[in-house]
A and B are shown apart, each in its own frame.
Chain A
């Protein structure tokens, strides 16, 4: 088991913000602590980006670092 820091940028969708953040984090590990730390507009895109910083609990080879799914 190890603790993995992760930064994500998620296109904002309708519905529960908490649920969409936790679902996105679960792909990488079990969220231990997280927060939306920014909301950014995307040029030419209707959806805003949620900037999320988190620490996850990962078993085996966790993925650390940053990820930008809009890229």
Chain B
């Protein structure tokens, strides 16, 4: 008989060029393995979103980074749901033909996957997304009209949406070196930072699950396309994975709960104190979720997963369990789940010292 699930966070920060997870949902196999090892994995859209490719697993909880940070910090709990009603928020800057493609993807997900999608709302003005790189090489970005995003989100929530998929028109430079590097498997996803800003802002404002897909014109075929980027070149939108992910994303609920919530029952909620481990790239320990877990005494499992950052356990003075791969990390998660001390699995095993 298996031990009880060990709720585990998988964090692979977006826009830092991780060798695994820096492309089109290419950390999904690792997430599936960790979900099997833990019995309960909480992770974010960057891990799960492969544009036209996705994987639905009841053991995996799809939580955008804003919610993940607060869950890790003990300020939110997660309530699993059978389904969400996913509102579709479209940037007014999307051209008519591209807009039609997105509406048809949403219709396809309704007809073929049985998702509940709608209503659809467009922003009153274009969102004016811009892309930036920080000094570290990580991608960031911003919105010229965040107010328009929030107004549209409020309209969707008022119309009954319980989760929101946002599609913003992103700037294009098909000849750029950064895009060529990304498609060739050696660069940072320059779109990712702005995507995270958009979804964080909407989650922060509305407190419901939100995720983002960029609207872009299709690229010409590239015979040298890296397999990790291929998921984004199968279709005309990046939207299917977002709709599937949000369709069963857990509700985000304040923690500790209000007296009314306690009365209604919190038995099924995933509580922050239940987090049993966090798995993260060894060079990217400086994010809010990982630091919150470390400060709360949650075991931090680092994985050798090269990226543009070098914020290691040594640099921050954190105690971690180091793994050379996600397969090894899954073994450590399973050990924690089964109550096996990770130190007992390595040699040499030093003798006990009296204190």
Chain B proximity mask over A12-38: 1 for CB below 8 Å, otherwise 0: 000011100000000000001111111
Q: Would you call B197 an interface residue if the criterion is a C-beta within 8 Å of the partner chain's C-beta atoms? A: yes
Alpha-carbon separation in the docked complex, A36 to B310 (Å): 10
Q: Would you call A63 an interface residue if the criterion is a C-beta within 8 Å of the partner chain's C-beta atoms? A: no
Give the residue name and chain of the A residue nearest to B150 (CB): A1
Q: Would you call B349 an interface residue if the criterion is a C-beta within 8 Å of the partner chain's C-beta atoms? A: no
Q: Would you call B136 an interface residue if the criterion is a C-beta within 8 Å of the partner chain's C-beta atoms? A: yes
Selected from B65, B150, B316, the residue in CB contact (under 8 A) with A39 is B316
Selected from B140, B147, B295, B315, the residue in CB contact (under 8 A) with A5 is B140
Q: Given that A3-B143, A16-B295 are known contacts, is A37 also in contact with B65, CB under 8 Å in the complex?
A: no
Closest CB-CB distance, B291 to chain A, in whole Å?
4
State whether A36 touches B316 (Cβ < 8 A).
Answer: yes
Interface residues on B, range: 20 to 34
Q: Given that A3-B146, A3-B197, A5-B142 are known contacts, is A34 also in contact with B310, CB under 8 Å in the complex?
A: no
State whether B135 touches A53 (Cβ < 8 A).
Answer: yes
Closest CB-CB distance, B305 to chain A, in whole Å?
16
Chain A proximity mask over B220-250: 1 for CB below 8 Å, otherwise 0: 0000000000000000000000000000000
Q: B295 — which chain A residues lie within 8 A by C-beta?
A: 16-18
Q: Would you call B206 an interface residue if the criterion is a C-beta within 8 Å of the partner chain's C-beta atoms? A: no
State whether A39 touches B140 (Cβ < 8 A).
Answer: no
Alpha-carbon separation in the docked complex, A36 to B313 (Å): 12
Give the residue name and chain of the A residue nearest to B201 (CB): A32
Please count how many residues in chain A sit with their CB below 8 Å of the partner chain's CB atoms: 23
State whether A1 touches B147 (Cβ < 8 A).
Answer: yes
Alpha-carbon separation in the docked complex, A38 to B138 (Å): 11
Q: B136 — which chain A residues lie within 8 A by C-beta?
A: 37-38, 51, 53
- Beyond A17-B295, A38-B310, A53-B140, 12 additional contacts (C-beta under 8 Å) are A16-B295, A32-B200, A32-B204, A33-B200, A35-B13, A36-B286, A37-B286, A37-B311, A39-B316, A53-B134, A53-B135, A55-B197
Q: List 13 A-B contacts (CB under 8 A).
A: A1-B146, A3-B197, A17-B291, A17-B316, A35-B288, A37-B136, A37-B309, A37-B311, A38-B309, A53-B138, A55-B140, A57-B146, A57-B201
Residue ranges of A at the interface with B (Cβ–Cβ < 8 Å): 1-5, 7, 16-18, 32-39, 50-51, 53, 55, 57, 66
Residue ranges of B at the interface with A (Cβ–Cβ < 8 Å): 13, 65-66, 73, 132, 134-136, 138, 140, 142-143, 146-147, 150, 196-197, 200-201, 204, 284-288, 291-292, 295, 309-311, 315-316
